[in-house]
Amino acid sequence: MTHLDIKPYISEEKIQKKVAEIGATLSKKFKGEPVVAICVLKGSFMFYSDLIREINADITCEFFGVSSYHGSSSSGEVKVTLDLANPVEGKHVLLVEDIVDTGLTMNYLMNSIQSRKPKSLTTVALLEKPEALKVPCKIDHVGFQISNEFVVGYGLDYQGYYRNLPYIGQVQNFQ
Ligand code: 5GP
């Protein structure tokens, strides 16, 4: 494993406060109705599991596996590694992503879900890098907007590692 120099960037406390805020907003929005919450694997698993516990609605869980990132910059190609197990037609769908960088992955996911004709689609991302956007990508709920730097922790990895950090860290001197 490559040991990186990681500077704490967004603390566990700040993340949990933001997750509770987004959860409260979504609880009001869904008004207790059934919702299919989609976890985008692998990066959003930690955010997703914290967020759904803050939403007061009848939630069923689905998992969408995509891989789109190699090293420190997005490849632009989205590969589906795990498709949804059940149809979402006619259902309220909540799509939970870890981070929007170029926007290509979120764009791909939104198109893929819209083509399955949900009743509604709400998008949420914990992090967004507005300076890195390459395609228009309107996310309904964003936790934190960050600068165009590589971050790890709270689900986000570098070569598969660092996902278990409870906070988000900025990688120093990253090539
Ligand atoms: P996009 O398609 O928006 O360029 O990339 C989205 C995916 O790239 C995210 O789901 C995430 O897996 C990965 N990604 C983008 N920026 C970062 C980052 O700063 N750190 C890590 N660990 N992954 C990132």
pLDDT digits (tens, 9 = 90+) for 49-66: 999 999 999 999 999 999
Backbone φ and ψ for 12, nearest 5 degrees, come out as -55, -45
Q: What is the pLDDT of residue 173?
A: 76
9-51 confidence digits (pLDDT tens) = 999 999 999 999 999 999 999 998 999 999 999 999 999 999 9
Question: For a substitution probing ligand 1, which of 156, 157, 159, 163 has the most ligand atoms within 8 Å of its CB?
Answer: 156
DSSP 8-state code for residue 87: -
Dihedral sign, Cα of residue 168, residue 80, residue 102, residue 112: negative
User: Domains of the chain by range and CATH?
Assistant: 12-66+78-149 (3.40.50.2020)
The minimum-distance atom of ligand 1 relative to the CA of 74 is 4
Residue-wise pLDDT for 122-169, tens only, equals 999 999 999 999 998 899 999 999 999 999 999 999 999 999 999 999
- Residue 39 Cα to chain centre, angstroms: 7
Q: Tell how far the Cα of 99 is from the centroid of ligand 1, in angstroms.
A: 6
How many Å apart are CA 80 and CA 69, to the nearest integer? Answer: 12
Report residue 70's pLDDT band, with 50, 70 and 90 as the boundaries: low
